[in-house]
């Protein structure tokens, strides 16, 4: 199934709206910080950052902006962008949904002005509506291919699917393991860690830390299992999951380099050492998944492919009159000669009656 032209335009417009919303918040933070380097250091979690006002965004917003732009372009340029619209909508719902109840809590009131929180709440509603509309558009705007040469979405190749499965599912398992460890070590911060509250710091437009980690872990696991079975939606899901995973791992690597943790690795505690190793593993897993899923798998066309033949192309044969044999199988005297070649066929071996 592919997308109709109306669905493609609608999906691109919705993705553009989401990109504009994120861009406006990013511009606001850059202007408020007066230095993008300081803003980036704040996103990375450095302790020595001094900003004039509290940023409302995180590095995840940068990744979402790139995703929205890529989805808008893909929806306009290809008819097989339904999966891209779905994963963009799912990511939007997962990231923006907690804002409905966290933007108005007491911690947000003390960190942000009423005007800023009102704008954030309006943007959260718009983003959620646009994300849901993208999913509905992807489902309602599908149609069967109009002709036998119109390409349909294809999943990753066999090797790329296995590689993406190992990388994404491994990263998802690591994220879940750290969440379990967090629950055991700091039980007093729950349930605020997942649903937000006065004991947890978070960005105005972002989800609580635990909520965001669980959303990313589930996205990685779904994308990984989809890749290993070579599902048609595996590539967009895997690329978005890897991109979001890459953002967190890059920030972790920045903290490692900034605080010279490698120079003192032996003197660090075991849990800190495991944290460093986890950041590096997630970085490698994200890059591996991005490289493995960047190249499309074997083309799936609903009809005979004009550039490659052989079994496995096109739908199963339908009952009906038998197709004429290939030229090499024609009976003597009909069609083209068995030796092949160009030009008109030879005359029949026996003239019809009356000639």
Tell me the whole-structure pTM to 2 decimals. 0.81
2 SS3 class: strand
Give the mean model confidence (pLDDT) for residues 20-28: 96
Strands 2-3 and 142-143: antiparallel
Q: Which pLDDT score, from 0 to 100, does residue 328 have?
A: 43
Asked whether the beta carbons of 288 and 134 are under 8 A apart, the reply is no
Average pLDDT, the chain: 83
pLDDT digits (tens, 9 = 90+) for 111-150: 899 999 999 999 999 999 999 999 999 999 887 776 555 5
| Residue ranges of domains in the chain | 2-294
Give DSSP secondary structure letters for 300-353.
Answer: B-SS--SS--STT-SSPPPSSSPPPPPGGGSPTTSSS-TT--SSPPPPPSSPPT
pLDDT in tens, 208-230: 999 999 999 999 999 999 999 99
Q: Between residues 39 and 331, which one has the greater pLDDT?
A: 39
Check pLDDT > 50 for residue 56: yes
CA distance 233 to 231: 5
Tell me the range of 72-81, 151-160, 175-184 where mean pLDDT is highest: 175-184
Q: Which residue in this structure is represented by tokens 């300081």? A: 38
Flag whether pLDDT at 337 surpasses 70. Answer: no
Give the three-class secondary structure for 273: helix
Measured between alpha carbons, how far is 205 from 97 in angstroms, rounded to an integer? 10
First to last CA, the chain: 54
In three state form, how does the secondary structure of 126-194 look? HHHHHHHHHHHHHHHCEECCCCCCCCECCCCCHHHHHHHHHHHHHHHHHHHHHHHHHHHHCHHHCCHHH
């Amino acid at each position: 199934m592919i997308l109709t032209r109306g669905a493609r335009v609608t999906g691109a417009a919705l993705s553009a709206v989401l990109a504009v919303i994120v861009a406006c918040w990013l511009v606001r933070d850059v202007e408020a910080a007066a230095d993008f380097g300081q803003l980036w250091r704040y996103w990375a979690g450095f302790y020595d950052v001094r900003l004039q006002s509290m940023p409302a965004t995180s590095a995840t917003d940068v990744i979402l902006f790139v995703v929205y732009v890529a989805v808008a372009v893909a929806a306009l340029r290809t008819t097989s962008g339904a999966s891209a619209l779905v994963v963009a909508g799912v990511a939007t719902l997962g990231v923006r949904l907690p804002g409905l109840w966290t933007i108005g809590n007491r911690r947000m009131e003390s960190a942000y002005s009423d005007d800023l929180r009102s704008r954030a709440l309006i943007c959260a509603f718009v983003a959620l509506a646009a994300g849901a509309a993208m999913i509905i558009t992807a489902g309602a705007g599908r149609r069967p291919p109009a002709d036998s040469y119109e390409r349909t979405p294809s999943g990753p190749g066999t090797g790329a699917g296995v590689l993406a499965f190992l990388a994404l599912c491994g990263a998802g398992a690591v994220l879940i393991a750290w969440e379990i460890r967090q629950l055991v070590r700091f039980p007093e911060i729950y349930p605020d860690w997942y649903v937000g509250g006065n004991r947890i710091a978070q960005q105005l437009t972002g989800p609580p830390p635990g909520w965001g980690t669980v959303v990313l872990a589930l996205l990685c696991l779904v994308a990984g299992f989809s890749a290993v079975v070579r599902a048609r939606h595996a590539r967009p899901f895997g690329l978005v999951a890897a991109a979001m995973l890459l953002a967190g791992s890059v920030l972790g690597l920045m903290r490692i380099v900034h605080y010279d943790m490698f120079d003192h690795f032996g003197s660090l505690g075991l849990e800190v050492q495991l944290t460093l190793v986890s950041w590096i593993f997630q970085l490698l897993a994200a890059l591996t998944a991005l490289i493995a899923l960047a190249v499309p798998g074997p083309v799936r066309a609903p009809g005979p492919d004009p550039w490659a033949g052989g079994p496995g192309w096109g739908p199963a044969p339908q009952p009906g009159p038998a197709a004429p044999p290939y030229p090499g199988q024609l009976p003597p005297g009909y069609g083209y000669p068995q030796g092949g070649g160009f030009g008109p066929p030879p005359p029949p071996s026996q003239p019809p009656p009356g000639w």
